[in-house]
Amino acid sequence: MEALALERRAEQNRELRERLLQLKKERNAIILAHYYQRDEIQEVADFRGDSFLLAQKAAETDADVIVFCGVHFMGESAKILAPNKIVLVPDERAGCPMADMVNPAGLRELKAKHPNAKVVTYINSSADVKAETDICCTSSNAVKVVNSIDAEEIIWCPDKNLGHWVQQQTGKKMIIWEGYCNTHDMLTLKDVVEMRAKYPNAQFVVHPECRPEVVAMADYVGSTTGILKYCRESDCKEFIVGTEDGTGYQLRLDSPDKTFHFASKYLVCPNMKVNNLKKVVRCLETMQPQIYVPEDVADKARLSLMRMLQVK
């Protein structure tokens, strides 16, 4: 029975992939997928990437329709950078708890207390918050962005763990918001100690959204793209991975001769996993749900995103 169910699922996926190819051609559509998406979505994506790479692709594409397979703020960023494109998301319920931890009113209040500070906002935030921001960043370029700012104080939001790491790397005076990524913050020091004992020959690679004491244990700290590059180029053949488990798809693709152990069974973002192949096809069939950002908000938010993309 199980074999029959697997066969039916495989046939259904083949049919969905064929339908998707047809719809992409009809709509002149492009599929952007974050590295944390299900394997079945990453397999059909035109581009896989982290938030920074996908923001670049959204800004550059000639497609008429962008299907953004990630979470809601990513679709918003794509719409802001490509206002004349139709931006679809497979499931509008795919939110980000960390993005919800900061709001425009709270950020304006903090800015009033520190009038000379510049605001750096992690891309994991709403369009409304980006509109209150001087410059955005991703985990890939956060250190470069903060180093590029000529200000005595920097207001950083919303991820306190990433902010702590960036502050260590830059030596800048940072006023750090108390947000965090629910998934990365679940990884504990105990988890890492146990995994290191179990796999003594493995290197530990970690995302800076993890807790500071976890990050301090790492052989390498970096964004998802940074982790992929490090593992691909390293002579080491075994890794303990401290980031969301969807990254395993690209890790295995890049390095089929290497072994990857995820540092905790809880490194799964339920919001990223809301999307599936059937929903990707359906959103192109119905051209819904579409992302809309009010023009006044988009104009302000676009400045902060474009400044980010200009940092070299």
pLDDT at position 51? 86
3-state secondary structure of 231: helix
Residue 149 has pLDDT above 80, yes or no: yes
Q: Could you tell me the two tokens for 43?
A: 């397999």
What residues pair up with 157 in beta bridges, in sequence order?
A: 121
CA-CA distances (angstroms) from residue 91 to 48, 73, 99, 271, 294? 18, 12, 17, 10, 20
Mean pLDDT of 273-296: 97
Average pLDDT along the chain: 95
pLDDT at position 31? 97
**Hey, what CATH topology would domain 99-180 get?**
Rossmann fold (3.40.50)
Sheet strand arrangement including 29-34: 47-49, 29-34, 65-69, 86-88
Residue 145 contacts residue 120 (beta carbons within 8 Å): yes
pLDDT at position 168? 97
Mean pLDDT of 295-312: 94
Residue 43 has pLDDT above 90, yes or no: yes
Q: How many CB atoms lie within 10 A of CB 251?
A: 25
Question: Does CATH number 3.40.50.10800 belong to domain 184-262?
Answer: yes
Residue 24 contacts residue 31 (beta carbons within 8 Å): yes
Residue 2 has pLDDT above 80, yes or no: no
Question: Phi-psi category of 6—alpha, beta or left, where left has phi over 0 and alpha has psi -120 to 50?
Answer: alpha
Q: Could you tell me the two tokens for 65?
A: 């329709």
pLDDT at position 8? 78
Residue 213 contacts residue 235 (beta carbons within 8 Å): no
Question: Phi-psi category of 311—alpha, beta or left, where left has phi over 0 and alpha has psi -120 to 50?
Answer: beta
Q: Could you tell me the two tokens for 276?
A: 């599936």
pLDDT band at 17 (very low <50, low <70, confident <90, very high): very high
Q: Before 289, cis peptide (omega within 30)?
A: yes
Q: Could you tell me the two tokens for 45?
A: 């994506």
What residues pair up with 179 in beta bridges, in sequence order?
A: 159
Residue 1 has pLDDT above 70, yes or no: no
Q: So where are the chain's domains?
A: 2-94+272-292, 99-180, 184-262
Residue 14 has pLDDT above 80, yes or no: yes
pLDDT at position 4? 66
Rounded Cα distance between 123 and 133, Å, is 11
Q: Before 97, cis peptide (omega within 30)?
A: no
Indicate the pairing of strand 65-69 with strand 29-34: parallel
3-state secondary structure of 82: coil
**184-240 tens-digit pLDDT:** 999 999 999 999 999 999 999 999 999 999 999 999 999 999 999 999 999 999 999
Residue 176 has pLDDT above 80, yes or no: yes
Share of the chain above pLDDT 90, in %: 92
Indicate the pairing of strand 118-122 with strand 65-69: unpaired
CA-CA distances (angstroms) from residue 112 to 100, 105, 119, 299? 21, 11, 12, 22
pLDDT at position 312? 78
Pick the CATH number of 2-94+272-292 from 3.40.50.2300, 3.30.450.20, 1.10.10.60, 3.40.50.10800: 3.40.50.10800
Class of residue 108 by CB neighbours under 10 A (exposed 0-12, middle 13-18, buried 19+) = exposed
Residue 180 contacts residue 98 (beta carbons within 8 Å): yes
pLDDT at position 53? 87
Mean pLDDT of 65-93: 95
